[in-house]
Structure 1
Amino acid sequence: MQADSNQPTEQYSITAQASNQNMSELAKLEGTATVEMTINGKPVTIELDGKNAPITAGNFVELVNSGFYNGLKFHRVVKDPGQPPFVAQGGDPQGTGMGGFVDPTTKRSRYIPLEITPEGADTPVYSKTLPQAGINKPPALRHTRGAVAMARSQMPDSASSQFYFALSDLSFLDGNYAVFGYVKEGMDAVDSIKQGDKIESAKVVSGLENLKKP
């Protein structure tokens, strides 16, 4: 199938089957956390929102804290001439857009459910986009420039470790992909990412105590 350059999906994301993993088996972020990535020698500070995306943010914090992202490259950067810049996508250990996290202990691939909290809601909607759930409200976490969100295949529960930075406002993705944080400092470094550039390092600099493991 021809990939749509305006969707962080298809062969650019994970092709595995949707997860049947029980949500009780997944880590959650209860509160906020801050991650610092070093890209091309420059720091990028990301604030993660565990209130509106507890499982999605928890998964990311857990992977960062384990050192999973260190050295992984950005396999997809979309900046079409004459169009607003789209995304810089990374987090695939294969570097192809086809891989995700495999637990070294269990040897099992780990996937997380699609998790989107509607604006004003107390709890997220799981495993469905907001349109699929019949919800007309926008999400609490929107695809504004600097948003950090999970890439996935067409199946809602197929996100694993691949994430993307929104390089401009991408409102057409709102309610369909799970935003879980925002770049707070270092957007200039994000803007400069080229395909093949690597995450030199990623570390949790605050809020690790808010990560609750099963």
Structure 2
Amino acid sequence: MSADLENTLYLELKDGRVTIALRPDLAPNHVARIKELVRDGFYDGLKFHRVIEGFMAQTGDPRGDGTGGSGQKLDAEFNDEPHVRGTCSMARAQNPNSADSQFFICFDDARFLDGQYTVWGAVTEGMEHVDAIKRGSQSQNGTVKDPDKIVSIRVAADAD
């Protein structure tokens, strides 16, 4: 099995496939946990509950409102990778060690997040499908009415 396929995710959205290159060199524990959750089918069907135009699309909460997770907190693995268009990074609460299963994909550069959130991957193909995710209300901090969902996520090495 190719290491490239083991460190690649296929994120299926309503408009098509997004390929994400995982970065275990930057965040080995986060990448391992994300792959575990992906292989368990945890993310399949989850909503993009917070989507802010010009900023990011956030998902990974089984409750669908930004208050839930898988129940396993991760210690921060902050790194020097910049938050730019296509960056995949962990969402968290105020506590740096509170990341769980929620993550976001940057629509545009968000360099003000650099060094404060764990970057674990980047979109390498299909960013146009991320761009098509339904946006939320600016006045409601990106809360989305009738949000788009993840169809499925698979580790490429496991894909048919």
TM over 0.5: yes
Match in the other structure for 1:115:
77
**Cα displacement (A) at 1:206:** 3.0
Conserved in 2, the CA contact under 8 Å of 1:33 and 1:207?
A: no
Amino acid at match of 1:46: I
Q: Which segments of structure 1 move beyond 2 Å, counting only runs of 4 or more?
A: none
**Normalised by the size of structure 1, how large is the TM-score?**
0.65
Distance (whole Å) between structure 1 residues aligned to residue 38 and residue 20 of structure 2: 12
Conserved in 1, the CA contact under 8 Å of 2:8 and 2:156?
A: yes
Conserved in 2, the CA contact under 8 Å of 1:149 and 1:177?
A: yes
**Cα displacement (A) at 1:70:** 0.3
Match in the other structure for 2:52:
78
**Normalised by the size of structure 2, how large is the TM-score?**
0.86
1:203 maps onto 2:143 in alignment: no
Number of residue pairs matched by the alignment: 145
Amino acid at match of 1:152: R
1:57 maps onto 2:38 in alignment: no
Amino acid at match of 1:69: Y
Conserved in 2, the CA contact under 8 Å of 1:89 and 1:162?
A: yes
From the CA coordinates, give the structure whose radius of gyration is larger: 1
User: In the TM superposition, what are the counterparts of 1:93-104 in structure 2 within 5 Å?
Assistant: 93-101=62-70
**Identity level (%):** 45
Q: Report the 3-state secondary structure (helix = DSSP H, G, I; strand = E; otherwise coil) of the residue aligned with 1:116.
A: coil
User: In the TM superposition, what are the counterparts of 1:123-202 in structure 2 within 5 Å?
Assistant: 139=80, 141-194=81-134, 195=144, 196-202=147-153
**Cα displacement (A) at 1:207:** 8.6
Match in the other structure for 1:91:
60
Unaligned runs of 5+ in 1: 1-29, 80-84, 102-108, 118-138, 209-214
Q: Report the 3-state secondary structure (helix = DSSP H, G, I; strand = E; otherwise coil) of the residue aligned with 1:115.
A: coil
- Between Structure 1 and Structure 2, the one with more helix by share is 2
